Structure 1
Amino acid sequence: MKNVVLVSASPKINEQSVSKQFLEMLGSQINSELFSKTFIDVRKSFSSHNLTEDFETLAKADAIIISFPLYYFSLPGMLTRFLIDYHNYYTASGDVKKTVKVYAMVNCGFPEPEINLEAVRVIKSFSQHLSAEFRFGVLIGGGSMMVAAKDAPFMKKASQKLNSAFTSIAADIQAENSTPMDSIYIGVNYPLLRRIYYFMGGRGWITMARKNGLKKKDLYKKPYRLN
């Protein structure tokens, strides 16, 4: 039986993360009769000092799926540290599977899924350093709306595409001879959401400015302008 390791890398502590929910939804589509499924929570791995055991699990994987939220247009810091530490473990052990498929699922609060692209490239680079085969990424815009509003009429197409992406990963894991695949982009096509998102984002900057003794007009100043 082949091993599939599903890695959740949300920094959240006491609340359910969207990244983990996506992994659980994907995991339900992976054939349990053909694959053994193991979940790793990166935050818990660090807090419980369980890194070596989790690295041993990763070393036995035939497929690795890494799900995480976009943080400052890249990976959460703890995931970066986790991957670096695992690479060091991989380099030192020399006893790691040579044929491993790697997938990335990245979600962000922005409506546009392409903002996740650079983070997917990081996972691809990580895979290459492990001599693993990076298959493709699933880039998800809209963040928690994909779960919280999945039954809303305007989310129907996005929800269907998300479920289709999970099906694609499950099928690709099972395929013996995988053909190259492009990453999958899933966004929220709802104009009102975009306006609300940018309005609330703008309000956040104004609130932060006031906390620091500034006014709204101060946000538009250009301190390095010569004229």
Structure 2
Amino acid sequence: MLTARQEKLMKTEGLDVYSLDVRQSLMKGRTESDFEAMLQADALVFNFPLYVFCLPGILMRFLQDYYAYWTQRQDGVGGSRIYAVVNCGFPEADINREAIRVIGSFSRNTNNVFRFGVMIGGGGMLLGAQGTPFVRKTMSELNKAFSLMAEDIIKSREDVVENISVALNFPRKLYFFMGNKGWVSMAKTNGLKKKDLYCKPYSNL
């Protein structure tokens, strides 16, 4: 949903937006045509959730395959402006910093220009409580970050822009309390009890 929000804002700013779903690209065998579209793009924006403090494995594979494709071209193509938007399930947005660094490294190794990342803290709560007052302010900050990204693309700015942190203004202890309640509720929905969440199925191996 955050991706759709960003797309809508960027289209409003006058940008032509083409969306690419990494999972669908890999499963339907259309990576080559998608890679070619990426090579021709003026800017690339990678949107993904944080996974084990870095990129999801499927995205890592996609980027590795893209790098191999780019290397085979041998024509030095590059110069696209690259951005990253990372959302994590922790309240602290800065936990996304390592994932942003990986995208920056990918950018340099493919002859592109990494501009900046938007690091989002709050995960599911940000999406599930959009109508509440404390989330509205965060969503407003997020809109500003997306607007800055659109402006950076349109104006081809060259000044340094630091990574942007956007996080919920919400008590940390209460955040984790609500998150744990969510796990218990999900367990019950799947016919499990709270104690089942602490099982170690491989402990005897």
TM-score exceeds 0.5: yes
Task: Report the number of matched residues.
Answer: 194
Whether 1:121 and 2:110 are equivalent positions in the alignment is no
Residue of structure 2 in register with 1:210 after alignment: 199
Q: Is the 8 A contact 1:102 1:134 kept in 2?
A: yes
Report deviation, 1:188. Answer: 1.2
Distance (whole Å) between structure 1 residues aligned to residue 18 and residue 77 of structure 2: 16
Report the CA distance between 1:197 and its aligned residue: 4.6
Matched, 1:88 2:77: no
- Give the secondary structure class of the aligned counterpart of 1:30: helix
Report the alpha carbon displacement of residue 31 of structure 1 after superposing the two structures with TM: 4.5
What letter matches 1:207 in structure 2? D
Unaligned segments of structure 2, at least 5 residues: 188-193
Distance 1:87 1:212 in 2: 38
Aligned to 2:46: 66
Shift of 1:92: 0.6
User: Equivalents in 2 of 1:42, 1:173: separation in Å?
Assistant: 22
The alpha-carbon deviation at position 145 of structure 1 amounts to: 2.4
Counterpart for residue 41 of structure 1: 21
| C-alpha displacement of 1:94 | 2.7
For structure 1, the 5+ residue unaligned runs are: 1-20, 215-227
How much identity, in percent, do the aligned residues show? 38
Determine whether 1:159 maps to 2:148.
no
TM-score under structure 1 length normalisation? 0.77
Q: Pairwise mapping of residues 1-227 of structure 1 onto structure 2 (< 5 A)? A: 21-31=1-11, 35-95=15-75, 97-191=77-171, 193-197=174-178, 199-200=180-181, 207-210=196-199, 212=201
AA aligned opposite 2:35: F
TM-score by length of 2: 0.85
Structure 1 stretch 123-132 or stretch 94-103: which is displaced more?
94-103
Paired residues of 1:61 and 1:97 also in contact (CA < 8 A): no
- 1:23 deviation in Å? 2.1
Give the RMSD, CA atoms, in angstroms. Answer: 2.5
Query: Structure 1 residues 128 and 156 mapped into 2: Cα distance closer, same or farther (>3 Å)?
Result: same
TM-superposition CA deviations, 1:36-77 (whole Å, max 9, x none) = 321100000011011101001001011000000011111110
Q: Distance in 2 between matches of 1:33 and 1:184?
A: 20
Higher helix share: 2
CA distance 1:33–1:152, change in 2 (3 Å): closer
Corresponding residue number in structure 1 for 2:190 = none
